[in-house]
Structure 1
Amino acid sequence: MRRVHLRIGGGYARFLTGLNVRSTAITTDSPIRSAEHLQHTPQKTTKLTQLKAFFVPLRHLYSRCVQRIAPSTTMASSAKPVIIIGAGVVGLTLAHGLKKANIPFEIYERDAHIDARPHGWAITLHWVLPFLRQLLDEPTLAAVDDVQVDPEVGRNDKGNFLFLNLETLETKFRIPPNERRRVNREKLRKALLQGVAESVRWGKRLSDVQPLADDDSVRAVFDDGTSADGRMLVGAEGSNSRTRKFLVPDGYRNHPLPVRMVGAAIDISPEEVKPLREIDPLLFQGCHPQTGNFLWVSMLETPETNKSAGTANEHYRIQVITSWLVKDASADEVPPTDVACVAEMKRRAAEFNPVLRNVVNSIPPSAAILTIAPQDWPCQPWDNRGGRVTLVGDAAHAMTMYRGEAGNHGILDAYHLYMAIREIYTGEKTMQVAVDEYEAEMTERSAAAVLLSRQACLDAHDFHGLNENSAVLKKRAIRMPS
């Protein structure tokens, strides 16, 4: 007879840590090969009998605890879904996180289909990338990399953000670099649709939100008369969110800023794009020191991505935006037609350096124009109805484009809300506690970000007032969790 130690490892060991169970000494005539082998080992002592009686029920208890940590397929299929209003970048990103956690969800989108209307030109993902990688599976991450406006530059990008003197073409400030991905927004949305498309209900515009008193759930009612019930509802439908209007009926309207913006996407030849890519291959911005007019230029497509390489029509597609402060309510308003808007862009570029003036002057009168009157909405308190209704992204905190952070904050919202919803579905926290904690972090973080972006919008048109502490120039970063 020999004395041996049964050492419990792996998941059992982690589970038993709180019980201070490290090893158990027993006596037996034969070796013990595994925990299961206890059931077939000759029981020569009382200690072995006691250990068996303790260990077998413990194994079943451990299995039940593991099931609580990750929602099972059975539980997920029987639970009420999370209703996501809006199939934009943030709503789809949240859906991917829920899918990875096996939490049921349904997405309701007002558009009739994915190409029903344009969804912006390009966005820069920077400090949010580590969080995005935790939400998406490997195929979707690869698809996101594939929609970079210039994948070749993206593979070796230094992450510079340049702010130029538009008169001299000199770099006035070089904003501290981050890892970044400059992606085509519409293609990004389509990439994120992969894997969750079957859960999107198209042509569903929200008309009402009804918390249900009898079973602690919530109902979304749509303009077409249909409705959907879920465990909770997340408004991810952008800066004109109807969910926000439901939550903050007296304060949902956006805050207008005294700035006007006009932009176009144009195709240019490799020869024409060369001096622009010598400034920066992805994007740059700047202000004219005398007029205060602002210019933004960024890449949208390269011959590699638009498949024109080597053809007679080889070309790049770029985004050109001009903006200005409204000093006179009449003279500085955006013109009423696209043709007049193109003429206004050229007029405001008349004092630019010839390299930049030439690119604005190359915009054809027939170009499709996007006009924007910048607005924002700092997050305000609301009653989330016991955690059943909340907001993410622009619906929760609309901000201007001048720091390029709106999409990053929206995706970070999706990450934190995904973590909160996991805790709800596993029973670790009540819905009220989990959503309150999500909203507390989101509100504190976004309140500062919205005001910083507001100030950046104004700073961008004040060349002589700029310094390294100006909001438009400060490093784009977020405090990472410890």
Structure 2
Amino acid sequence: MAQSGRKPIPISGAGLASLLLAQSLKRAGIPFRIFERDASISFRAQGYRLRLSNEGLDAIESALGPEAFQRFWERCGKTGGSGFAAIDAITGADITERPKNTDQGKAVDSEARGSLLSREGKIVGIARGEMRKLFMSGCESFVHWSHTIMGYELTSSGVHAIFADGSKSVEGEMLIGGEGIYSRVAKQVSQGKIKTYDTGARGIHGQAPSTAFKGLGEGVWRLTDSTRADRKVFVITNVRPGDMDDPDVQFGWTLGAQPGVVNPPNNDYSMVGKPAADIAKTLTANWHSRVKPLFDNMVESEAAFWKITCSTPSGVPEWPNEPRVTVIGDAVHSMTPAGGIGANTAVRDSALLGRLIAEAGGYKDGVTAAYEKEMRVYASEAVKASYGMATAQFDVKLDENSATV
């Protein structure tokens, strides 16, 4: 139950980090409100399946508490196998142990395989959309849809969120920006120091009936097509046990490519479905029969484009702390999908900030400073690792003069 007399904490965005933070605040009895630009939870594609590390699972358990975490754990898939197995998409051959050209490449590949395993020696994963619904459970009445936060206004005793139509939220104790890579809160609070770069690389999310994955078998797989130096394409997919004979169950895959290979028509990322499916089918047209069913049998309506972005590769920047405003998740540290690090880092933000606010009983001077100090350490390490792996996988190169989103 919310503490009577306390002003609510506005949270910008209803993504994973924001919703998990809300769960933590709800458990502590601290009032909050979530403002989301979309019209509903099903307004747009929810993205790919997420792999959860030990650190990510620990953070989720800390924020949800024992009972809610048990429900979450029961919905997660637990995949066995040898870790990150690789397949040559053209020949269908296993190439997991193929030596890399450099020692750095070997280290990156080994690190990526090892980081997949978490509890019970399994690779634990869950669809992003399902994870979001679980994190929203019990918070539905506190989510205000179709509200885009454009910034904030500090007062002598709190903060107002400012919406796109010029109206303001009720005065809150604090404001938490968790609205992703286009966060206006992040830009304002960091005085422009938080930057998200467009790597130029692009991808496509897709789904197919689980029966299409029989040629792979259980495990986490990377399908690689490097037949052309200027058109490297790869696909990541997680094949869970027990469902490969049920055509009513769908598994997801994520296709990524180096800059210039995947280009949505008119550069329109809201143009999902068949346009994205057609590009995926074209790029995989000559792939081996072992893997081609993933694309030949894909559910076209579920295909969606995505940009591959990354925060400043050197890590989370410093900015003058604002005691009543801070940022979490992609709003402060966007990462490439390499290594599956981004979501795990975001939920660590939620658990850390939620714990600090709960311990303080709500707003208290020093809470956001303590959060940002600790967050910068693990998030900077994560951004560097994510960018390093993406450099090897996508051939992306960033510097301070690269285009931002």
Match in the other structure for 1:380: 317
Q: Pick from 32, 47, 68 the counterpart of residue 120 of structure 1.
A: 47
Change (3 A) 1:439 1:362: same
Report Cα offsets for 1:365-410 as digits up to 9, x if no partner: x54431122111232223332x100000001101011111111101
Of 238, 252, 255, the residue aligned with 1:322 is: 255
Partner of 2:263: 334
Q: For residues 88 and 400 of structure 1, do their structure 2 counterparts lie closer, same or farther at Cα, with a shift above 3 Å needed? A: same
Please give the TM-score of this superposition, normalised by the length of structure 1.
Answer: 0.67
SS in structure 2 at match of 1:346: helix
2:164 paired residue number:
223
- 2:133: which partner in 1? 190
Q: What residue is the counterpart of 2:214 in the other structure? A: 274
SS in structure 1 at match of 2:217: helix
TM-score by length of 2: 0.79
The SS at the match of 1:117 is: coil
Once the two structures are superposed, the pairs formed by residues 15-164 of structure 1 within 5 Å of their partners are: 76-127=3-54, 128-148=56-76, 150=77, 154=78, 157=80, 160-164=83-87
2:160–2:168 Cα contact (<8 Å) kept: no
After superposition, the Cα gap between the structure-2 partners of 1:418 and 1:340, relative to the gap in structure 1 and judged at 3 Å, is: closer
C-alpha RMSD of matched pairs (Å): 2.9
**Equivalent-residue separation in structure 2 for 1:420 and 1:138 (angstroms):** 19
- Give the alignment partner of residue 259 of structure 1, picking from 201, 219, 238: 201
Amino acid at match of 1:202: W
Q: Deviations over 1:94-140 (max 9, x none)?
A: 11111222222222222222222222132122221122112113442
Which residue pairs with 1:199 in the alignment?
142
Q: The residue matched to 1:398 in structure 2 has which SS?
A: coil
CA contact (8 A) 1:122 1:300 kept: no
**Structure 2 counterpart SS, 1:322:** strand
1:456 is paired with a residue whose SS is: helix
| Conserved? CA contact 2:193–2:318, under 8 Å | no
Contact 1:299 1:317 in 2 (8 A): no
Preserved CA contact (<8 Å) 2:208 2:294 = no
Query: What is aligned with 1:45?
Result: none
2-structure distance, mates of 1:403, 1:103: 34
Q: Is the 8 A contact 1:260 1:333 kept in 2?
A: yes
Task: Give CA-to-partner distance per residue, 1:55-105, whole Å, 9 cap, x none.
Answer: xxxxxxxxxxxxxxxxxx79x222222221122111111111112222222
Task: Name 1:295's counterpart in structure 2.
Answer: 235
Q: Which residue of 1 aligns with 2:370?
A: 437
Larger Rg: 1
Please state how far the C-alpha of 1:186 moved relative to its aligned partner. Answer: 1.2
Q: Note the alpha carbon deviations across 1:406-463, whole angstroms, 9 max, x for none.
A: 1110110111111221343279xx52x222121011112212211221221231247x
Which of 304, 307, 316 is the equivalent residue of 1:370?
A: 304
Q: Does the Cα contact within 8 Å between 1:209 and 1:219 map onto a contact in 2?
A: yes
Instruction: Go from structure 1 to structure 2 and tell me whether the alpha carbon gap of 1:238 and 1:349 turns closer, same or farther (over 3 Å shift).
Output: same
Structure 2 segments unaligned to the other structure (5+ residues): 98-108, 266-270, 396-405
CA distance change for structure 1 residues 422 and 414 in 2, over 3 Å: closer, same or farther? same
CA contact (8 A) 2:276 2:304 kept: no
Question: Which amino acid letter does the alignment assign opposite residue 170 of structure 1?
Answer: I
Q: CA deviation at 1:208?
A: 2.5
SS at match of 1:77: coil
Q: CA deviation at 1:183?
A: 0.8
Structure 1 residues 371 and 392: CA distance shift in structure 2, 3 A: same
Identity of aligned residues (%): 23
Aligned-partner residue type, residue 115 of structure 1: S
Q: How many residues align?
A: 361
Higher relative contact order (CA 8 A, sep 6+): 2
| Equivalent residue letter for 2:311 | W
Alignment pair present for 1:345 and 2:290: no
Distance 2:135 2:74 in 1: 12
Q: Secondary structure at the match of 2:22?
A: helix
CA shift for structure 1 position 143: 3.1
- Determine which of 200, 221, 235 is the counterpart of 2:177: 235
Q: CA deviation at 1:219?
A: 0.9
Are the equivalent residues in 2 in contact too, given 1:303–1:315 (CA < 8 A)?
A: no
Per the alignment, residue 247 of structure 1 pairs with 189
Change in Cα spacing, 1:346 to 1:143, as seen in structure 2 (3 Å) is same
Distance across 2 between alignment mates of 1:124 and 1:159: 15
The residue identity in structure 1 corresponding to 2:171 is D
Is there any run of 5+ residues in structure 1 with no aligned partner, and where? 1-72, 463-482
Indicate the residue corresponding to 1:421 in structure 2: 357
DSSP-derived class of the 1:360 partner: helix
Query: Residue 381 of structure 2 corresponds to which residue in structure 1?
Result: 448
Relative to 1, partners in 2 of residues 1:426 and 1:201: Cα closer, same or farther, differing over 3 Å?
closer
- In the alignment, is residue 404 of structure 1 matched against residue 340 of structure 2? yes
Query: Which amino acid in structure 2 is aligned with residue 92 of structure 1?
Result: L
Give CA deviations for 1:130-161 in whole Å, capped at 9, x if unaligned: 2211211344223323433x4xxx2x746823
Residue identity matched to 2:369: D
Q: Name the amino acid aligned to 2:96.
A: T
**Alpha-carbon deviations, 1:161-199, whole Å to 9, x = none?**
323343423323671232243112112111111122222
CA distance in 1 between counterparts of 2:139 and 2:302 reads 31
Distance (whole Å) between structure 1 residues aligned to residue 159 and residue 145 of structure 2: 20
For 1:340 and 1:205, locate their aligned partners in 2 and report how far apart those are by CA, in whole Å: 28
Once the two structures are TM-superposed, the CA of residue 301 in structure 1 deviates from its matched residue by 11
Deviation, 1:244, is 1.0
Is the 1:349–1:360 Cα contact (8 Å) retained in structure 2? yes
1:303 and 1:164, CA in 2 relative to 1: closer, same or farther beyond 3 A?
A: closer
Letter in 2 for 1:275: G
CA distance in structure 1 between the aligned counterparts of 2:19 and 2:264, rounded to whole angstroms = 35
Looking at structure 2, the residues matched to 343 and 84 of structure 1 have their Cα atoms a distance apart, in angstroms, of 38
Q: 1:411 and 1:354, CA in 2 relative to 1: closer, same or farther beyond 3 A?
A: same
SS at match of 2:175: strand
When structure 1 is superposed on structure 2, of 346-355 and 441-450 the one drifting more is 346-355
